[in-house]
A and B are shown apart, each in its own frame.
Chain A
Amino acid sequence: MIATKTDVKTFRGEVTTWLEENYPASLRQPISSYKDFFWGGRNQEDVTDDLKLWFNRCYEKGWVVPHWEKKYGGGGLTLKENTIIAEEMSKIGARAPLQSFGVSMLGPALLKFGSEEQKMKYLNEITSGKIRWVQGYSEPGAGSDLAGLQTKAEDKGDHYLVNGQKIWTSFGDKGDWIFALVRTHPDRPKHHGISFLLIDMATEGVSTRPIKLISGVSVFTETFFDNVKVPKENLVGTEGEGWTIAKYLLTHERQMIGGIGDAHKPTPLTQIAGEKVGLTNGILSDTLLRSKIMNFEMNEALLEMTIERAIDEAKAGNDAGALSSLFKYVATEQNKTRYELKMEMEGFDGLEWESEASKNGALPREFLRTKANTIEGGTSEVMLNIISKRILGLPSR
């Protein structure tokens, strides 16, 4: 454990050295799509040897999830140490060893609500990269009104019988297991009839159908459950009280989408604008774009300071709950603006959809992807509803 400033320095030094020796040279390139990451699981496509090597090295060191306990495949390190590792990785542009909804979403929920047996099994499967998890929350009729979900799980003694449909399942066709919200008590008020169930997607009756996005890729699916038998022990927490777990998990999902705690900082637009747009007497030639960029960069800087402040408030024992609810909204709206501005800066080059120069339209595709940021994990409108009601205490109708 690190306690003093010298300890921090020593630890940071050790991390830097280890990274220098172990981060593969071939991965020191900018990331252009989700395929540049190691996702683990039974169905991973196109993994390069170096991605695998990088993952394995981190796994042996306990650095896939450094702050999880060793018995779960973590490194048993503190959050502070975890942050230092993330910061040092970011400095050399190192990719996360494992990209995983298991780490960012299910893990925290299991740590809080799972039984010891469940933690041992599932957390170890996550950290070792064996099982890739996907999220089964949304349904065709239940998006923002998530608690209105209808997929049902009937009690059949030693198992549940699950029937229904999920939608927008990110990587549904690549996933091994799905954490799903199901209705076990249709007779109860809607928030109290939901259970949190872990389902092996290899079970008979589970099927997926890909959905093609505006960016041209199919990274999510419809997911169907047709008389799927799920063992009773796959229930997390109390039957009928899965909504509490669902909400807790959502706070982690929102942090992930907002990029909160993400050590990877995108290149400031002010750094590339000159080259892309040109300067006239030292001033960006497109002066309207210049003011948009400065507004954006101002808010970026302030968002970062607000994250810093939230951490300091929490450390000082002040209630920082109010702050955490604004991050998803502000950060995702900002990210959309970032890509609007990138598109403006790139001009015609940003329109190329299929060319080598554009890496197959990497920018316009990423740009389109950002439009989902203010939808997934709770829309901006839903976030504003939460702020109005829970923080400002404005009345409901």
Chain B
Amino acid sequence: MSYNINNKGYYGAFGGAFIPEMLYPNVEELRQNYLKIMAEPSFQEEFHQLLKDYVGRPSPLYFAKRLSEKYNTKVYLKREDLNHTGAHKVNNTIGQILMAKRLGKNRIIAETGAGQHGVATATVCALMGIECIVYMGEIDIARQAPNVARMKMLGAKVIPALSGSRTLKDATNEAIRDWINNPVDTHYIIGSAIGPHPYPDMVTKFQSVISEEIKWQLKEKEGKEDPDYVVACIGGGSNAAGTYYHFLDKEHVGIIAVEAAGKGIHSGESAATSALGKEGIIHGCKTLLMQTPDGQITEPYSISAGLDYPGVGPLHSHLYKSGRGEFYSATDDEAMTAGLELAQLEGIIPAIETSHALAIFEHKTFHPDDIVVISLSGRGDKDLQNYIDYFKL
């Protein structure tokens, strides 16, 4: 079985482009050009130069000694938190801003949940001198205040999404509506491996630098390219897609996804899409999503703004349904505890999104010889207030 996208834009039964006709010219323009543009030597050169000199790649693959001892296995952390702007999100925004420039666009829109993608987008727009508008749910604006301030300082306009649950789903709706209203000069930088084809594939390919580096870094450290497991948290699934990418067809590498269970999978306040979702259409993509029997999209919940999304990228739906991926979910409490533990064992404060991936040790026991690579997708600076409130620090 192939876990890559097929020529119709599907991963197995999932993907496609279920978009209103108003979006067709833009999405089609992108579909026809993205692979061609990405293959251009000048694009590759500029992309890798920026990843190196501006983002600070390669990000270290760090052997977490004390964490490994505690869980009696070999844990490596892929330090995306050390990237410029503090998360993996910038890998994608660098790629997409270069894409937008080559498509002749001069206005950028984006949605954001935790604000990491918004900051990463505002950053590359400042870098290129391009106008930037970021849609963010009103609730998320309140719980991720430091990132809102950063976006503003970078010159972006932050527009609150006031509809629905006022979180990531609704910010995405507003960004899509903006694109409908500005069909010629605007590029929409989607922040996760979601949306209509070709977005999930394009975002995955830009993020695949994560697993590309893991391979040679692990070869240096362990004498072999392939770990036994790769682990990542899943909101829409971009850090996960990048972490899995080069291992998808290597069946001896276990793929582990951790979703946000919120207050518990069956509490009614959760974002554990694979457990609770059913096949349907969200944001132009056929995938698993949380919905009512009548097909209305359900409002999710997670303490983590970046995982608070009722759908999941089509690659991950395919990994789940095909059995290629092992899917777990961590509750708010499990994630917060795992985040604190990393801080105190390794001196690294992770983003709350990332803390969900670290909670894997609550759910799965690894063999002492296993090499487990965890995507440390982001740093916790933006979440300090949430950690302080939660632990009464």
Partners in one complex: no
